[in-house]
């Protein structure tokens, strides 16, 4: 009985993945318990290959930091069948290759009324506000996953000099488009929302629009580069 259980729910292929049930119509493929780019590349690679395979019965895939959730129609494919399909998809070769990545440029007006915590982030880092802006806008940030809000990108690649604790008392209202730093991560609030991240700027772009053919401007696996703009340029976008 134990060997049967392990074959269905606990067996790890050579790449370290573990496939677990998530309710009666979804499963999760886990690759580890860390947040790092190499592990996330495996998740993104599997997600791309699953989409290309057109496996009958798969309804949706949701990539996260370290795992891929796959929802399916049990009337078309069973857990065991889907587990076998996913176990046969290799991610090692592709995950280890450096391939050109899709970069989405996001214009940001930093500081002032657009990013009222920029001065605090600069003080915490022992930098000037201009140095914070330069560091923050000089990196292509990997989008590990979308979550919390529709289109909220959890980004990897923030310079350690900019790591800043979240607010002790979260704000009840953060403007749409606000760019923030929370601990070791940076991200963008696509909708007005409560939140505890330090606000350093704001983008005039509408990141999420359910009426657009493509509601999101980016997806997990893409990269974001922040481009500094002036207040006048910000207003011109509106």
Taking the domains of the chain in order of start, what are their residue ranges?
Answer: 2-95, 103-237
d(C-alpha 191, C-alpha 150), whole Å: 8
Instruction: Give the model's pLDDT for residue 104.
Output: 97
Instruction: Give the model's pLDDT for residue 199.
Output: 98
d(C-alpha 197, C-alpha 117), whole Å: 9
CB 115 within 8 A of CB 201: yes
Q: List the Cα angle 167/172/174 in 5-degree steps.
A: 80
Per-residue pLDDT for 5 more than 60?
Answer: no
d(C-alpha 156, C-alpha 147), whole Å: 14
pLDDT tens, position by position, 83-139: 999 988 888 755 445 556 799 999 999 999 999 999 999 999 999 999 999 999 999
Banded model confidence at residue 11, pLDDT cuts 50, 70, 90: very low
Considering only residues 41 and 177, tell me which one the structure prediction assigns the higher pLDDT.
177
Instruction: Give the model's pLDDT for residue 9.
Output: 42
- Taking Cα atoms as reference points, which of 137, 34, 24, 139 lies closest to residue 71? 24
CB 70 within 8 A of CB 29: yes
| Fold of domain 2-95 | Gyrase A; domain 2 (3.30.1360)
pLDDT tens, position by position, 219-237: 988 999 999 999 999 999 9
Instruction: Give the model's pLDDT for residue 97.
Output: 53
In terms of pTM, does the model score above 0.85?
no
Please list, in sequence order, all residues whose beta carbon lies within 8 angstroms of the beta carbon of residue 96, skipping any fewer than 6 positions away: none
Extract the tokens encoding 231: 């207040």
Banded model confidence at residue 1, pLDDT cuts 50, 70, 90: very low
pLDDT tens, position by position, 47-75: 989 999 999 999 999 988 889 999 999 99
CB 181 within 8 A of CB 198: yes
- Taking Cα atoms as reference points, which of 169, 145, 160, 128 lies closest to residue 219? 145
Indicate if 103-237 has the same CATH topology as 2-95.
no
Extract the tokens encoding 197: 């991240």
Which CATH number is associated with domain 103-237? 2.40.100.10
CB 143 within 8 A of CB 218: yes
Per-residue pLDDT for 8 more than 90?
Answer: no
pLDDT tens, position by position, 141-195: 999 989 889 999 999 899 999 999 999 999 999 999 999 999 999 999 999 999 9
């Amino acid at each position: 009985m134990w060997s049967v259980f392990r074959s269905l729910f606990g067996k790890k292929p050579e790449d370290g993945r573990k496939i677990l049930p998530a309710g009666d119509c979804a499963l999760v493929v886990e690759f580890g318990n860390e947040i790092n780019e190499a592990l996330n590349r495996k998740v993104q690679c599997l997600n791309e290959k699953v989409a290309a395979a057109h496996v009958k019965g798969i309804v949706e895939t949701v990539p996260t930091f370290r795992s891929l959730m796959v929802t399916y129609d049990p009337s078309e494919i069973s857990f065991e069948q889907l587990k076998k399909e996913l176990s046969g998809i290799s991610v090692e070769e592709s995950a280890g290759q450096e391939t050109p990545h899709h970069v989405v440029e996001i214009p940001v007006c930093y500081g002032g009324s657009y990013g009222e915590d920029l001065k605090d982030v600069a003080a915490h880092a022992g930098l000037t506000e201009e140095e914070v802006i330069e560091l923050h806008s000089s990196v292509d940030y990997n989008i590990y996953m979308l979550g919390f809000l529709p289109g909220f990108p959890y980004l990897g690649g923030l310079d350690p000099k900019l790591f800043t604790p979240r607010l002790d008392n979260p704000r009840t209202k953060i403007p749409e488009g606000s760019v923030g730093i929370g601990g070791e991560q940076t991200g963008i609030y696509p909708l007005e929302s409560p939140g505890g991240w330090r606000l350093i700027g704001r983008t005039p772009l509408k990141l999420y629009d359910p009426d657009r053919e493509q509601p999101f401007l980016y997806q997990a696996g893409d990269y974001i580069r922040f481009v500094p703009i002036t207040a006048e340029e910000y207003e011109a976008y509106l």
